[in-house]
Structure formats: C-alpha cells, structure tokens
C-alpha cells in the first residue's frame, strides 16, 4: 500500500504533549506519545502481548505501559518490563510496531512505512517575512482526494463562496496552465474576481492563484490580489492544505497560512479560514460517490476542470487506492 510511505499530520505538536493519544491514519489505529524531554513516538495502537490498545495505558518511568498487563515499552518500542515475570529480560522480538515521526509546520507527522517521500513541501515556511498560523483540525465526512480536489477548484468560488471568494457577476474561468511536477501537479495563471479575498480585502479584486499538489493528499496555493485592493500593502499569502486520511471516506484537515501580516490577531485570521472551510464542508460531505472516481467517464469534466483532471491522473499514476474508486 503505497499510501503508507507518505507523511500525514496527526495533530498540533503542542497538543500531543505527554499522552498517550489515540489517532487513526489510513484506517489503522495509532498511538502517539512522548516521555518528558523525549521525541514523539507513533506506534500501532496494539500491544503485541494481547492486542489491547496501548492508548489506554500510561507513561511511566519514560516508557509506555500497557493498561492490561503492565508491559512497558521504551521509546524504541522494545519491551523492557513484564511485571508478571520480574526477573525476565524480554527478547528483541517482544516489541511494539513503530512508525517514523517528524515535526514540521507546527504539526506532528507520521509515516507508516519507510519510503523516499519527504514531508509535503511548503516553501513559504522558510520565509521569515511571512507569519504562519495553523487552522483546524476540521473533521470531514469526505475522502481525502475529494477534499484536495475541491481545494484546487476555481469554478466553485462564485457559488459556494459567493460574496467572499467569488461573485456571480464574474463566473468565467480564464485559461490557465497545468504541468506535472516530481511531487504532483502545478497550475499557474489562475485568475478569479473576488469580493473578499482575505481579511485584508477592501473590495472586488482580480486575484491570481498558483496551485501545486505536493503529495497525494496535500496541496499549496499562493494568491496575489491586484495592487491597491488590500489594507496590507503588497499582500502576499500562501496557504497549505494538509489532509490526514482517516478512513477511505473520512478525513481530518489542517490548513497552514503564511502571509506578510504581523498585526492581525490569530483569531481574526482563523475565523476567516473557518468561514471559508465551513462553506466547503457541506458540499464535500454531500458528494457521491464519497470516494473520488478515477476512471475516465465516471464523472463529466469541462475545460475549467483541467487541474482536477491532472490531479486524478497523478493519483492513478502514483498507484493511490485509498479514498478513490
């Protein structure tokens, strides 16, 4: 299952302190924990002894203790203590199933199988002139590919986000270019008339977008409104969508914003994003089939959908099967 070799966000780093915490990734139960001063650990949420969820346990002496029989596992997953056999030294075979973890963008990421893939790239993260704010998590009854495709879609602005990101007086989608990349797909020259493109908008503006799929379930957009249409001069904004596929038809979404605004309070920026995502969510949860169809002819397309079509082709070429049909 190639999906297990990619990286997925499971929570804000600060919210996962201590633990253990139970999460689900790609339909599998995962326990996240870390001892005081240690690195985050993510394991299969199953004690190798009798299959009890390790997330029901506790951290004791820097180890994760199972709630059933008290077996204790160190940070490498090795069983170190079996209370019923105080003099016994557990062999290397008695260990938990461990996964790789990374911290990036204020989130903890998990990779379930070793692979060549990196945590999804968010280029704006390296720009110290841009402020970063996380939004979410949003729990959505929709497949991860459906959510990503919606993020890439221009032609829904005037209808789903009317008065915000679009207006019925300007519904046409001008031609834009789509090219494949080593990690996905890139769309450039995307343009839309937006009444309120951000919390800084002063009125209708032509906004130019660039979209990039950076992993099967992650994408980034940058948006540049025309000069003189925002309170913040020369506003630059980049937004990353990171989706954790929970089941083939449910997901948890994180959004990370980067912009050259260091004055607006976090709550104001987050409220705007909550509004936009709240408009998308009922649409996403209404789609049938809930999994994204990849077969030609399963859904009808038009020229404005060229980015969506390219994304579906990328998923097929990559061998993605989770959340698609």
Residue 197 — pLDDT band, cuts 50, 70, 90? low
> How many Cβ atoms from other residues are within 10 Å of residue 222's Cβ?
17
Q: Under the phi-then-psi rule, with left for phi > 0, alpha for psi from -120 to 50, and beta for the rest, what region is 34?
A: beta
Q: Indicate whether 62 belongs to any domain.
A: yes
Contact 47, 96 (CB under 8 A): yes
At residue 296 the predicted structure's pLDDT band, cuts being 50, 70 and 90, is: confident
Residues 103/106/108/110 CA torsion (nearest 10 deg): -70
Q: Which residues contact 109 (CB under 8 A, 6 or more apart)?
A: 7, 8, 9, 10, 101, 102, 103, 119
Residue range(s) defining the domain that contains residue 157: 123-278+286-318
Tell me, what DSSP letter sits at residue 324? B
Six token digits for residue 309: 């079509």
Return the percentage of the chain with pLDDT > 90, whole number: 82
Q: Which of 166, 32, 53 is nearest to 108 (CA)?
A: 32
CATH value at residue 77: 2.102.10.10
d(CA 71, CA 37): 22
Q: Where are the alpha helices (DSSP H) in 44-188?
A: 144-151, 157-160
> Is 90 exceeded by the pLDDT of residue 166?
no
Q: Residue range 5-29: average pLDDT?
A: 94
Confidence of residue 18 (pLDDT cuts 50, 70, 90): confident
Q: Has residue 174 got a pLDDT over 70?
A: yes
14/63 Cα distance (integer angstroms): 20
Give the C-alpha separation, 303 to 301, whole Å: 7
- Residue 261: predicted pLDDT: 82
Q: Which of 150, 276, 126, 277 is nearest to 219 (CA)?
A: 150
- As a whole number, mean pLDDT of residues 170-198 equals 92
The whole-number average pLDDT for the span 101-126 is 97
Structural domain ending residue among the three candidates 84, 111, 138:
111
228 pLDDT tier (thresholds 50, 70, 90): low
Same domain for 154 and 39: no
Has residue 116 been placed in a domain? no
* pLDDT score of 279: 97
- Give residue 242's pLDDT: 98
CA–CA separation, 247 vs 27, rounded Å? 5
How many CA atoms lie less than 13 Å away from 160 in the CB half-sphere? 17
Last residue of a domain, one of 51, 84, 111: 111
Report the pLDDT averaged over residues 124-150. 96
Average pLDDT of the residues in 107-118: 96
**Average pLDDT rounded to a whole number, residues 89-110:** 98
Mean pLDDT of 130-149: 97
pLDDT digits (tens, 9 = 90+) for 302-315: 999 999 999 999 99
pLDDT at 139 over 70: yes
| Cα 65 to chain centroid, rounded | 30
| Residue 159 reports pLDDT greater than 70 | yes
pLDDT of residue 230: 66
More confident residue, 151 or 236: 151
Distance CA 104, CA 111 (A): 13
CATH code of the domain in which 250 resides: 3.30.530.20
Residue 271 φ/ψ, nearest 5 degrees: -60, -40
Residue 25 CA to residue 9 CA, distance in Å, equals: 9
Judge whether 238 lies within some domain: yes
* Tokens 């929570």 belong to residue: 11
Tell whether 135 and 233 lie within a shared domain. yes
Torsion, Cα of 193, 194, 195, 199 (10° steps) = -150
Task: Show the tokens assigned to 65.
Answer: 């203790």
Among 33-37, 206-210, 293-297, the least confident range:
33-37
Q: Is residue 72 part of a domain?
A: yes
pLDDT at 285 over 80: yes
Strands 218-225 and 205-215: antiparallel
CA–CA dist 150, 168 (Å, integer): 19
> Is 323 inside any structural domain?
no
Domain identity same for 273 and 304: yes
232 has pLDDT over 70? no
Last residue of a domain, one of 111, 140, 174: 111
| Alpha-carbon span 117 to 320, nearest angstrom | 14
pTM of the shown model: 0.95
Q: Return the pLDDT at 224.
A: 83
Q: Which residue has the higher pLDDT, 15 or 37?
A: 15
Angle between the N-to-C axes of helices 144-151 and 266-286, in degrees from 0 to 180, rounded to the nearest 10:
120
pLDDT, residue 51, reads 98
pLDDT at res. 201: 67
pLDDT at 235 over 90: no
Q: Residue 198's pLDDT is what?
A: 72
Residue 219 CB burial class (10 angstroms; 0-12, 13-18, ≥19): buried
Count of structural domains, the chain: 2
What pLDDT band is residue 194 in, cutting at 50, 70 and 90?
A: confident
Q: Give the per-residue pLDDT at 78.
A: 98
């Amino acid at each position: 299952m190639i999906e297990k070799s990619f990286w997925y966000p499971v929570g804000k780093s600060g919210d996962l302190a201590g633990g253990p915490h139970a999460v689900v990734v790609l339909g599998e139960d995962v326990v996240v924990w870390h001892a005081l001063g240690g690195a985050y650990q993510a394991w299969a949420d199953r004690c190798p002894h009798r299959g009890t969820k390790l997330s029901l346990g506790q951290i004791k002496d820097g180890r994760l203790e199972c709630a059933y029989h008290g077996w204790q596992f160190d940070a490498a997953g090795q069983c170190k203590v079996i209370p019923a056999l105080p003099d016994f030294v557990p062999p290397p075979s008695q260990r938990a199933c461990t996964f790789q973890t990374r911290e990036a963008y204020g989130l903890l990421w998990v990779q379930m199988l070793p692979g060549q893939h990196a945590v999804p790239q968010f280029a704006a993260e390296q720009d110290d002139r841009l402020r970063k704010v996380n939004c979410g998590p949003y729990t959505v009854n929709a497949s991860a590919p459906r959510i990503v495709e919606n993020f890439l879609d221009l032609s829904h602005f005037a209808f789903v986000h009317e008065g915000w990101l679009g207006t019925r007086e300007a519904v046409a989608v001008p031609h834009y270019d789509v090219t494949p990349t080593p990690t996905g797909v890139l769309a450039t020259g995307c343009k839309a008339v937006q009444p309120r493109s951000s919390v800084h908008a002063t009125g209708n503006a032509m906004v130019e977008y660039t979209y990039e799929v950076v992993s099967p379930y992650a994408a980034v957009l940058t948006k540049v409104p025309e000069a003189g249409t925002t309170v913040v001069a020369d506003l630059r904004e980049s937004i990353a969508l990171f989706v954790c596929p929970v089941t083939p038809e449910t997901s948890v979404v994180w959004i990370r914003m980067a912009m050259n605004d260091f004055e607006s309070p976090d709550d104001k920026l987050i409220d705007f994003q909550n509004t936009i995502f709240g408009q998308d969510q009922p649409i996403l949860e209404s789609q049938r089939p809930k999994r994204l169809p990849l077969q030609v002819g399963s859904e009808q397309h038009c020229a404005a959908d060229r980015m969506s079509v390219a994304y579906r082709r990328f998923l097929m070429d990559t061998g993605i099967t989770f959340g698609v049909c």
